[in-house]
Amino acid sequence: MRKNNIVLVGGGSTWTPGILKAMTTHLDDFALNRVVLYDINEERQEVIGDFAKILFKEEAPEVEVVYTTDKEVAYSDVDFVFCQMRTGGFDMREKDEKIPLSLGVVGQETCGPGGFAYGLRSIRDMVEMVKDVRRLSPDAWILNYTNPAAIVALALDKIFPEEDRILNICDQPVNLLRSYSKLIDHDVNKLEPVYFGLNHFGWFTNIYDETGKDRAPELKDIILQGGFRPVDAEQRDQSWLDTYAMVEDMLTDFPDYLPNTYLQYYLYPEYKLSTSDPERTRTDEVREGREKKVFAECRRIVENGTARDSKVVHNDAHGDMMVEVAASIANNLRKTFVVMVRNDGIVSNLPEDSMVEVAASLGANGPAPYAVGHIDTFYKGLIENQYAFEKLTVEAYMEESYGKALQALTLNRTVGDAKKARKVLDALIEANAAYWPELK
Ligand code: NAD
Ligand code: G6P
Ligand code: MN
């Protein structure tokens, strides 16, 4: 088996330890030669990088581990780029959440004005990354998880239309599948989903088991009768438990399909707003929780010189999925994943150039998506509205257009009012001056 050179962009991310641990447990199906961690923040990178060296020395000493803030080192001679950067860090995420809330609009990092603001920040760094990678490793696969993935995926598709080795993925479909599998006590690897929509804006229509039986009706009944909790509920913060609980509400109102949790912001913007605290949002929870824990644990491991008793690096869906996606491509395994691809007729009555999220068989030549066909009016209406928002956001970036930015926010279901949209936009422009193009 070919041994891969990989680079993790955003090597100082809170998710990196879990991904590294997943790499050490998947060496049989994803062989490694070199792992490089790359970040623009030296301090974060050093903590996680020193942890990585200890982990690999103990679990896979044959793998070379390097950490760096030099992109020439990072992007040279690479087979797979795993990208998960956060332009502007948690300081800017906080603004994405709190500025809209202070003006009476949903505040979330990937949905509504928060996702819009984060999108305009992410695009520039992501375009730069793709150009740097292509200069130094023309054939590398770029696996992107950077949010807001819907907007990033669309922007990269518009800016690099010939690219066929960039794959944008989100772990929420697999998180949901893992939680469904627990509800019906079934091996998640034996469940085949049918899924359609945009990223953070989609539905499972069917969940087939290995006998061909669709388990979706049973799953809907279970959730409607007993509610929904994530499989890893003990490790989840309250906001995630609240989020999963909203699936029952969505199913009560719209029982056709199993919804992605992020649809709660678009279907119930007033309720989400009325139950949000503009002074304390998800960013505060992450900073006090995941970020603190991950960095404290990595520092402890570095001090002790061993990762054998590490708690922070337990495997979650995210790490496993990232490595399994790469393994499926590297070894042409053709496993099924829910990924983002250019529509091109997969959903027959949605725009050809939208970036849809659907199930695909993933092999050496990339994703071969499964056809979805025609979707019903309600879903088509919702998706077309959201897609218009995403497209206008990307165009606002590319054309540096205030007008398109205002159109985008006005269309977004979480805003829905042009005067509100203008207020939020003006406040976000001020907050993002260091990151956005100047909108004229
Ligand atoms: P984080 O801030 O802890 O980590 C991001 C890291 O990226 C930071 O260390 C930062 O210094 C670095 N960075 C910023 N700009 C960079 C650049 N231009 N080049 C290289 N590194 C850069 O954030 P996090 O919560 O760990 O999340 C990381 C990213 O992964 C976010 O975009 C998040 O939304 C995304 N994410 C996506 C999924 C998904 O399902 N698609 C799941 C989890 C996380
Ligand atoms: C889900 C989403 C991701 C998001 C992640 C973490 O997995 O699919 O896109 O980044 O949750 O969100 P959090 O609020 O915990 O940082
Ligand atoms: Mn996601």
pLDDT, one tens digit per residue, over 262-306 is 999 999 999 999 999 999 999 999 999 999 999 999 999 999 999
Q: How far is CA 214 from CA 11, 184, 260, 348, 359, in A?
A: 39, 12, 18, 23, 15
Catalytic, out of 39, 171, 316, 320: 171
Tell me whether residue 50 is one of the annotated catalytic residues. no
> 315: pLDDT confidence band, cut at 50, 70 and 90?
low
Whether ligand 1 lies within 6 angstroms of the CB of 21 is answered as no
Q: Which atom belonging to ligand 1 lies closest to the Cα atom of 89?
A: 2
Does residue 437 contact residue 400 with C-beta atoms inside 8 Å? yes
- pTM for the whole structure: 0.98
Is 439 a residue whose pLDDT tops 90? yes
Closest ligand 1 atom to residue 172 Cα is 40
Does 426 score more than 60 pLDDT? yes
Q: How many angstroms does the Cα of residue 305 sit away from the middle of ligand 1?
A: 26
The reply, when asked if residue 332 is annotated as ligand binding, is no
Provide CB contacts within 8 A for 352, sequence distance 6+: 342, 343, 344, 345
164-200: buried (b, 16+ CB within 10 Å) or exposed (e) per residue? ebbbbbbbbbbbbbbbbbebeeeeeeebbbbbbbbbb
Confidence of residue 311 (pLDDT cuts 50, 70, 90): confident
Best mutation site among 85, 127, 355 for ligand 1, i.e. most ligand atoms within 8 A of its Cβ?
85
Q: Whats the size of the chain, residue-wise?
A: 440
Q: Which atom of ligand 2 is nearest to the CA of 200?
A: 8
**Residue 405 pLDDT greater than 90, yes or no:** yes
Stretch 144-157: mean pLDDT: 98
Ligand 2, atom 2, lies closest to the CA of 172
User: pLDDT by residue (tens digit) across 25-79?
Assistant: 999 999 999 999 999 999 999 999 999 999 999 999 999 999 999 999 999 999 9
Is the distance from the beta carbon of residue 316 to the nearest atom of ligand 1 less than 6 Å? no
Please compute the mean of the pLDDT values over residues 317-334 and round it to a whole number. Answer: 96
Which residues does 323 contact at the CB level (< 8 Å), separation at least 6? 19, 22, 23, 26, 30
- CB of 176 within 6 A of ligand 2: the answer is no
Distance, CA 172 to ligand 3 centroid (Å)?
A: 5
Give the model's confidence band at 214: pLDDT under 50 very low, under 70 low, under 90 confident, else very high: very high
244 alpha carbon to ligand 1 midpoint, in Å? 23
CB 103 within 8 A of CB 418: no
419 alpha carbon to ligand 2 midpoint, in Å? 30
- What pLDDT score does 316 carry? 72
CA-nearest residue for atom 11, ligand 2, is 172
Terminal C-alpha separation, the chain: 52
What is the chain's percent helix, strand, coil content, to nearest 5?
50, 15, 35
Q: What pLDDT does 32 receive?
A: 98
Contacts of residues 190-193 at CB distance under 8 Å and 24 or more positions apart, as own/partner, are 191/215, 192/336, 192/359, 193/336, 193/338, 193/359
Tell me the pLDDT of the chain averaged across its residues: 97
Q: Is 83 a known ligand-binding residue?
A: no
pLDDT of residue 310: 86
| 349 labelled ligand-binding | no
314 pLDDT higher than 60: no
**What is the average pLDDT across 348-359?**
98
User: Average pLDDT, stretch 374-401?
Assistant: 98
Ligand 2 centroid–CA 216 distance in Å is 24
Ligand 3: centre distance to CA 306 (Å): 32
Question: Distance between CA 29 and CA 324 in Å, rounded?
Answer: 8
Ligand 2 atom 8: residue of nearest CA: 172
Q: Is 170 in the pocket of ligand 2 (CB under 6 A)?
A: yes
Kindly report, residue by residue over 152-198, the tens digit of the pLDDT.
999 999 999 999 999 999 999 999 999 999 999 999 999 999 999 99
Compare 199 and 309 and report the one with higher pLDDT: 199
Please report which residue ranges of 9-103 form alpha helices under DSSP H.
Answer: 16-25, 42-59, 71-75, 89-102
pLDDT of 91-105, one tens digit each? 999 999 999 999 999
CB of 48 shorter than 6 A to ligand 1? no
Q: Is 262 marked active-site?
A: yes
Cα–Cα distance, 30 to 25 (Å, whole number): 9
Q: What pLDDT score was predicted for residue 183?
A: 98
Query: CB of 86 closer than 6 A to ligand 1?
Result: yes
422 is in an annotated binding site: no
Atom of ligand 2 minimally distant from the CA of 145 = 9
Ligand 2: residue whose CA is nearest its atom 16: 286
Q: Which residue among 75, 262, 265, 387 is the active-site one? A: 262
Share of the chain above pLDDT 70, in %: 99
For ligand 1, pick from 8, 9, 15 the residue to mutate: most ligand atoms within 8 Å of CB.
15
Kindly give the distance from the C-alpha atom of residue 93 to the centroid of ligand 3, in angstroms, as a whole number.
15
* pLDDT band, very low/low/confident/very high, at 1 (cuts 50, 70, 90): confident
Structure tokens given for 413: 């279901």
Is there a binding annotation on residue 186?
no
pLDDT grade, residue 130 (50/70/90)?
very high
